[in-house]
Structures are given as structure tokens and as C-alpha cells.
Amino acid sequence: MNHATWPARVILIVISAVIVWTVIAAQRGKKLFIRRIPGLTAIDEAVGRAVEMGRGILLSSGLGGIDVVTLQALAICTNIASAAARYGTKVQMPIYEAALLPIAEDAISSAYNKAGRSDAFSSDDVRYLSNQQFAYAAGVAGMIQREQYAATFLFGTFFAESLIMAENANMVGAIQVAGTPSTTQIPFFIASCDYVIIGDEYYAATAYLTRQPTLLGSMIGQDRVKIAILVTVMLGFLLTMVKLPLVKNLFEDKDMPAASYYSPAKGGK
Amino acid sequence: MRIPQLDRRVLYLLLALVVSIPLLVNVPLPPPAITPPTKSFYETIETVSTDPKTKDKLVIISCNFGSGTLAENLSQLEATLNHIVSKRMKFAIFAFNDPQGRDLGGSTAQRIADKAGYKYGEDWVNWGFRPPQGIQSLLKAMVNDLHGALGTDVKGTKLSTIPVMANYKKADDVGLIIEFAAADTVKYWVQFFQRAGTTPIATLFCPTSVMANEAYPMLETGQLQGMLVGLKGANEFETVMKRPGFATRASASLSYSHLLIILLIILGNVGMIQDRKRQQGATK
Amino acid sequence: MKEETVKLIVILLGVASTLGIYSILYKENKVFRFFEHLYLGLAAGYSISAAWNDILRPQWWTLMMIEGRWWMLFAIPAAMMFYMIYSKQNSWMSRLIFGLFLGATAGQTFQAFAADYFPKFRTAASKAVMDLPEVNQPGAYGLTPFSAALNNVLFMVILASVMTYFFFSFEQKGKVIPSVSKFGRYTLMVAFGALFGSTIMARMSLLIGRMYFLIHDFVQVQLLHMQ
Amino acid sequence: MFQVQHGAALYTHLAGAAVVSVILFFALTLVPTKLRRPLIMAVTFAAGLFYALEFFWPVSGPESDQKNFLTSYIKPFSDITTVLQSFALGLGVYSLVSIHLRKVARTQSGWAYSLVLIVSMIVMVIAHIGKEYIKAPWVHQLNEFAYSGLMKSLDATMFSIIAFYIVSAAYRAFRIRSTEATILLVSAGIIMLGQVAIGQAITNAIPNEGLTANLRVENMANWILKKVNSPAIMAIDFGLGVGGLATALRLWLSLERGSYFEEEL
């Protein structure tokens, strides 16, 4: 779809309005509930283990550029960094995309500030490694083997290199938590990490960790949208049974005359 | 007999052996079953190359892979190009994900084209590489003006002066898109090009087998008309065309490495159960 | 240097780097560390060259200096804002340029959402249980109208239960919802197992490619002069 | 005003633009603290609005060439953002080089490796940019060694090393420990068998027609991939899509809160 159709305009604007509405309502102090997400409690556990063992923590925000997924990863990493800083555990973060380096450096150093440990932050700990996929993986593998991290957190966009990083960390006995919207990599994280955050638990993570009203509101809004999508799709399924392609037509690539949206399907495709 | 837990280095050594032996000596292997995506891949090319509406249109060969996935993507490209030239269709090589794609695609096309008596500029062309960052807007611009949007071919010649491009000016002149990829780059064609002209353009996908999983839904939605899944797909395609090549040889290595993994998993589980029993015995 | 000598050196370098990297499989060692740093250096150099050769030169320098679009010079102060991150007082200026990028990415999400998900919604909403077109298609081995309808019902059940698993705004209590979401989780495991299983093939193919290089290009052609 | 210039006029225009740049840049440093955040918010919103409007605004024109008043600016705008992003590479290179140069200068442990890194970077730049400008054969050969000999092999090797890791991961993880692990194992096993000729041979005796065809291992694998995998992945995708859209909205409208977004500027 190069340009919005009329149904697309309506649907996208309604979805956006629902989300923005709940976010603003939450910011104004509306009490909201989200359920416990098991994988996320593991984050604190892993930080605790690293503190006990007195070894460092590795954070990776994956292979994304400045995009929605990577910024989300950075938000999670910032939380972990501030928890670690509170206990005086060293955090290292190899960066893939150069433009992300200053944002990450800024975010991690402000996490240290928040924990009252700005003295412990060294700008070498957030370092650019490479923006070539496997050079980055080789570098991270080397870092893991040499530094023998106690815990590794892999959040963000990952591709094939996910397993290189996760297996090397497994070799040095690190406790690992991973989360990614790259669905293809989840099986490998499941095989070599201790805890894996699946699907849009990824977007729920910061909301859950920080209990920030903005993020909680967003979660609730997203949930409502998802429920609406499920209901719509189910309705479409039922309507297809009686040969009414109404729902299907709403999602067509091109606008069609208003009357034909709810006209019965013409036989066959 | 007690089965010990194996050290990871033993696993690595076993794998290296199992993969290399079939490459050194001929190991017998049954022919593969032809899966539906391969079948529809083959049939789509058949249809496009015989349908009077599409048979004179351009085939875009989009090579978005690098040397890393050579074994899979190059065997797919070889098998497919062989088929395209046997149908005497005109094609254009294009790359927008990795500059290596332009070179790997270009040299493979050159080799196959030479063998088939194709002339550069008259029967085929290499559009070269365009950076991935601008691909969305480039594809949008290509819909109405291939010559203007792309500018020149890989050698710096203006497309408008290349004979083969004379009849191919916009998306409607494209009959088939075949994407060879190590990433989900086919989505750009689907999102911005496939349906942007007056009729949808048949689109085929040759992903590495890992990328195939994400693409299966696109076969269902009709966004893709066929798919060669990795080396396996290439091997199936070679079998359909009765033209065995690299893919056929390599699939012996592939088969036996899978067998090794399955054996190892079974051994691991048997060992685990034995250990568990022994521990129970000890506590009694 | 002769063409063949260059080719031989290229292959020897390839063999050395292949074995050097594989040495980490045994354990971390000096050879691996050497190739790791070599790799990072080469990759950095490659990124710089690619940025110039593929982007800055054709899309900026040539336009500015050869085609005479002098206003392209304004890219420099804009890009300088990135570097203001290192200034104490004016680091906020780097956020200005990030803001531009964040905004642009966010703005494109509408189109991306419509283009990515609308076809999926369409597919899911038009799963039929009668008049199934796929029954008569080639490749539909043994697909009867009944089993095709069953498959489509199963499709909806899986879709709904996996989506239920990912609802966060209410506690998953009661009789129905926990079992639906448990079923969702189990089907997720089937899907992940399938993803794992089918990836093995891709990874083995890569290893085959490398082994073929070592065995064929190096040992057979270069050392034994076989063809 | 924005007209293409050539020759001497180009250079005077460039000089003028440089002066204007310096003034603008200096003017920005004078923006009072209170106005900084609103300015950032405005820029973010405007950049997003551009793409959003282009998508939402009604279009006209022939079926295959529908556009609105913004469509023709999409390409120049995305070109510029690409160029700007390339400039940011300097940040990374600066970080990398400064860490390793310091190591070399202080001869800290492992300084020799740092030297290797810096030298190989320089060699690659000379070879890879050099080949575009210098026709001498040594540049071409250097590029062959650095790029085709080393870089490409290192890439391919590092990618292929996953094959080893996938074996150790499968060996360790695929155990019948819990229901979930068992499901994972069975599903992966069927797919593995169904994908290779030797696995398919197990059920080759079963006819590939009628109901019994369902028992063939490649058909089972295919069924799992198409009928179980697709809806499950689709369901995950729906959540991710909505999550991504929500994050985008929060960023675009500057609704995001938290340390990075609330710091003093």
C-alpha cells in the first residue's frame, strides 16, 4: 500500500487514538493494571547473580539502527544498568550502529547518575564495535570469552549472530536473559538462554520494570487494540462463512466503491 | 551400556567430519521429494514464460545476498537463471542490500549468459547496486520510470541508451520479480512495487531456508507465487529440471549432518534418563 | 604480481582466516584474538569506505561539487549536531538531530503497519470453511474439503489462543482463559521448534560452503592441482 | 534562491552557505534552555508528520502513479537522512580508534592486537576507497587481499560457525525435561527429518495420495510449517506490530517519559 485507502485512514487513526488516549489518561493519574510477566522477574535475578559473583554484565541492543525496536531495547538496558550500578557491578555495552552510540552513552550514563554512581561510569564501557554483522558477533564473542561475564542481556533486533553470542555466553556460564521482536531468533535464545521474553512481552518489558504510567497506559491501549483486531478477524471469519467479504475488503490494497464493500463475494478468485 | 554426556568439542569434530566426507567421496542419497513451494515456483516461471501477455516482459533478478550465504543463494540463482535463459526471457540483475550481490549476481549471470548465447545489453543488463537506505523511495519512483529512477547500469551507461531496456520503462513492463535473499528484502518489492502498477507482478522468492519461515504466510496471502527454500529448494529445482549441480552434491552433506544431530539428541536423552535412574537408585 | 599469485594469496589468506576463526571452537586463544581484531579493523575500514563509495560520494559530494547543488553543504552543520554530544553545554543539539530521525522513523510506521499487517488481517479474516479454493490447487495432496476446512478452523484457534497468551491487561484467571493461553503457549513451542529445525538446514549449508572452500578451492585445486 | 551553480559561482555560493551554517549553528547554541525541549519536540513531530501526511493525504493521478503534494519530496528527504546518517559513522570510528590508540600508546596488555585493528582499518580504507580513484595495480591487489581474501572469508566463516553452535545448543536443550521442551524437540525433529532426503526416505513407502499422504514426514513437516507455524507467528506479529506502532506514536508525539526524556537540557 503506497497510500492510505479510506478504511486504512479510519482504522489507523482509531488505533492511534485509542493508544494515545490511554497513554494520556495514565499520565493524568488513572490507575492501570498489567499482569505479572514471568520472564521479566528474571532480569532482577540475573543482576543479583552478577553482583554475587562479582563479575561484569554484558548488554547488547542488537543490530538495529535508530528505530523503534532498538530504542525500546535501550530503555530496558538503561533499567538494568541502573540496577547494576546501584550494586557497583560493571556493565559493558558493545554498540552496532554508530549513530546509536551517543544516545546509548547518554542513556547509560544517566542511568548511573540516577543510581548515584556517576563516578563509576566509564565511556569506554559503552563502545562502538562494528556495523558489520559478523565482525560485531566476533567482537562480542571475544569480549564474552575474555571478560567471563556473569550475566548477559540481549535485547533488540537480532539476526543469525544471536546464537554466536548466546552460545559463547553459555560456555562461560553466564546467566542469560534475551528478548527480541525478531521471531526467527527466539528458538535459539530459548535453546541457550535462561529466560526469553517472547513477542510483544518485549514492548511490555519497560512498562513492567519501571511501572511508568506512560508505558502502562500504552500497554493497556495496545491490549485493547489487539483485542479489537482479534474480534475483527474472528468476525471476518464468521462473515466469510455466510459469504460476506466485508472485513476482508476493509483491508484491501485499493479503495473500492462504497457499495461493493458489503456485497457478497463473487464466486471464486 | 552407560552413555556419557559429550564434550562440545567432540560434537564439533563429529560435525566437521560428517559435513566434509560427502564433499570428498560420492555418498549415495535418495532423491528429494518435491515440495509445493518449489512446484509452484517452477509452474509460475512456466506460466509467465508462455503466457503471451507476460512472456516478452522483463524479469528482475534481485540479488540481495553476500558471500556468507553463497552455498544457498548461489545454487538457487544458478538453477533459476539456467531456467530463465532456456525460456529465452530477458532479465535484469539488481541489488540493494549488499554490494556483493551485484558482483556475485553479475558474474554468475555473465557465465550462464555466455553459455546460452545471451548478449549483454541486448538480452540482459546489470542495473548494479543501490544503497538499502533509499530503497523504498527508489522502488516507488521505479514504478513509473525505470530509466529515470535507476539512471545507469553497473558500467555507467544510461539505461535509456541500452537496447534491452528500450521496451521496459515502468512496472507494467515487468513480468516477473525473483528475489534471492539472505534477509527479508522481498518485502520491499511486495510493499512498494508488486501491486503498484496496473496488474500485480508475479513475485518469486529464493530465501535462505531460515528466512523461508517468515515468508510462508506470504505464499498463503498470494503476495508470493512460489519459493525455493534454501539449498533444499535448489536441489528440488535441479531435480525437477533434471540438471544436477552443486546443490545436489551438497545435499548429501546436508542430509547426513541432520542425521548426526538427531542421533546426538537421542543419545543425549538416553544419557539423561540413565543418569536420572542412577540418581534415583542412589537416593533409595 | 601475476594474476595467479594474487589468486593464490587470496586463497591462502582465506584459509588462514577460516582456521583462525574456527580455533575459538576449541577455546579462546591468541590466534583467534588476532583474527578478531583484524576483522574488527577491516570491518571498520570497510564501513568507512562503503559510506563514502556508496552513499556520501554519489548522494552528496557529486551532487554538491559536480552538479552544483551548493545547498548540500548544509548537511555538514546538520551532521555536526551529532558530534555535539561531546560538548557539555550544547549536547542538547545532538538530540535535535536524533529527534529528526526518531520522528521520521515514527512517521513511516503508519505505512509500514498498513503494508505489513493489512494483508495478514485480510488472510486471517477470509479463511473459509466452505467453497475452499485451495482444495483443487496443484500441490494440495490428499486435501479434502473437510480437512481443508478443519485446517482453517485450526488456524483461527491457534491465532486466537496465541493472541490470548499475549494479553497483559487482565489477570489470566478462571477456567477458560488459562487453558486457552496454555494451548497458545504450546503451539508457540511447536512453532519455535519448527523454526529451529528448519534453520539447521541453512546453517549447515553455510558450513558446507566453507568446507567446500577448504576442500575444493584450497586442497584439491591449489595443493593437488585437481580440477 | 536554490539554483544550481557552476564554476566560480559555485564556490562563492558554497562559501556563503558555509558562513550561513556557522551563523545558524552559533544561533542554535544561544537557544534558551526553556525552549530547547519544545524545539526538539517540534522537529520530531514535523519529521514524522511529513511521512504520515504523505501516506494519509488523498492522492490523485493515474492508477499507477498516484501522488499528493508531498510524494515527490519523499526521495530527496530520504536521501538526505541517509547522508546524515553516514556522517554519524565518524562517532563510531572515533570511539573505536580512541580506545585502541590509547591502548597502544600506553602499551597496555593486548596493545599489539589494538595495533592490528588500527593498521587493518587503515589498509582497508586505502584499498577500498583507493580502488575508486587510483588505477595502479597495487591498489587493486591490496583490495583483493584485504577484501576478497580476508574480509569475505572472515564474514563467511563467522556466519558458518553457527553450524557448530546449533549442534551444541540442540544437544543440550532438546531434552524431554518438561512438556514444553518435549514439544519443542518433537516439532524440531519432524521438521529436520522432513527437510532432508534421508529423512524423507523413511516414509517413502507411503503413497503420496489420499489420506495416507498425511503420514509422510515431509508432508507433516510442511503441515507444521504452514498450518501451525503461520498462525502462531502471525499472532506474535500482530502484537509486535501494535507494540511498534504504539512506541512510534509515543516517540512522535513526545509522550515518552523517563530518564533520557526528562533530563535537564
| Average pLDDT, integer, range C9-22 | 94
Number of domains in chain B: 2
Whether A142 and A243 map to the same domain: the answer is: no
pLDDT value at C213 more than 90: no
Which pLDDT belongs to residue A263? 67
Domain boundary among the residues A182, A211, A240 is at A211
| Average pLDDT, integer, range C207-226 | 82
Whether B136 and B234 map to the same domain: the answer is: yes
Report pLDDT digits (tens) over D69-89. 998 898 889 889 889 989 999
Give the CATH number of the domain where residue A86 resides.
3.40.50
Q: Hey, which residues does B158 pair with through a beta bridge?
A: B152
Domain layout of chain D by residue ranges = 80-160, 164-253
Residue A176 domain flag = yes
Q: Do D85 and A128 touch (CB under 8 A)?
A: no
pLDDT band at D259 (very low <50, low <70, confident <90, very high): low
Residues (pLDDT < 70) of chain A are 263-269
C-alpha cell at A179: 528478548
- CB-based contact, C130 to chain B, within 8 Å: no
Report pLDDT digits (tens) over A27-63. 998 888 888 887 788 898 999 999 999 899 999 999 9
Number of domains in chain A: 2
Alpha helix ranges (H) inside chain D: 7-29, 33-56, 74-87, 89-105, 111-133, 137-143, 152-160, 162-173, 179-195, 197-200, 217-223, 230-252, 259-262
Residue A1 domain flag = no
Searching chain C, which residue's CA lies closest to the CA of residue D212? C142
Give the CATH number of the domain where residue B146 resides.
3.40.50
Report pLDDT digits (tens) over C54-110. 889 988 999 999 989 999 999 999 999 989 888 888 888 988 998 998 899 899 999
Supply the ipTM of this predicted assembly. Answer: 0.91
Searching chain B, which residue's CA lies closest to the CA of residue A167? B8
Residue B1 domain flag = no
- CB-based contact, A9 to chain C, within 8 Å: no
Residue B182 domain flag = yes
The angle formed by the CA atoms of residues C133, C135 and C141, to the nearest 5 degrees, is 150
**Secondary structure (DSSP) of A98-133:** TTHHHHHHHHHHHHHHHTT-GGG--TTSEEE--SSH
CB B224 within 8 A of CB A30: no
Whether B131 and B198 map to the same domain: the answer is: yes
* Residue B184 φ/ψ, nearest 5 degrees: -90, 45
| Average pLDDT, integer, range D5-18 | 93
* Residue B202 φ/ψ, nearest 5 degrees: -60, 135
Residue A67 domain flag = yes
Give the span between the Cα atoms of D37 and C157, in whole angstroms: 48
Largest interatomic CA distance in chain D: 82
Residue A179 domain flag = yes
Q: What range defines the domain where residue A63 resides?
A: 38-211
* Closest C-alpha to C55, from D15, D140, B96, A127: B96
- CB-based contact, D241 to chain C, within 8 Å: yes
Whether A157 and A207 map to the same domain: the answer is: yes
Whether B100 and B174 map to the same domain: the answer is: yes
Which pLDDT belongs to residue D54? 94
Residue A219 domain flag = no
- CB-based contact, A22 to chain D, within 8 Å: no
Residue A216 domain flag = no
Residue B2 domain flag = no
Give the span between the Cα atoms of D112 and A36, in whole angstroms: 50
Per-residue pLDDT of chain B (284 residues; tens, 9 = 90+): 778 888 999 999 999 999 999 888 878 777 888 888 999 999 999 999 999 999 899 999 999 998 777 778 988 998 999 999 999 999 999 999 887 788 778 888 988 999 899 999 999 999 998 988 778 889 988 999 999 999 899 888 899 999 999 999 999 999 999 999 988 899 899 988 998 888 899 999 999 877 887 788 788 888 899 999 888 899 899 889 888 777 877 888 988 999 999 999 999 999 999 988 888 877 65
Q: Hey, which residues does B176 pair with through a beta bridge?
A: B59, B202
Whether A153 and A256 map to the same domain: the answer is: no
Dump strand ranges (E) for chain A: 57-62, 91-95, 126-128, 151-157, 175-179, 195-197
Name the residue facing A130 among C27, C40, C115 (closest C-beta): C40
Residue A180 domain flag = yes
Residue A217 domain flag = no
Which of the 8 DSSP states describes residue D60? Answer: B
Q: What range defines the domain where residue B16 resides?
A: 8-26+253-283
Whether B212 and B279 map to the same domain: the answer is: no
Which of the 8 DSSP states describes residue D136? Answer: -
- CB-based contact, A35 to chain C, within 8 Å: yes
Residue B272 domain flag = yes
Interface of B with D in 208-267 (CB under 8 A): 209, 213-214, 216-217, 220, 232, 235, 251, 254-262, 264-265
Whether A128 and A200 map to the same domain: the answer is: yes
Which pLDDT belongs to residue C141? 46
Whether B123 and B84 map to the same domain: the answer is: yes
* Closest C-alpha to C54, from B97, D121, D77: B97
Whether A136 and A252 map to the same domain: the answer is: no
Which pLDDT belongs to residue D258? 65
Whether B21 and B47 map to the same domain: the answer is: no
Interface of C with B in 85-104 (CB under 8 A): none
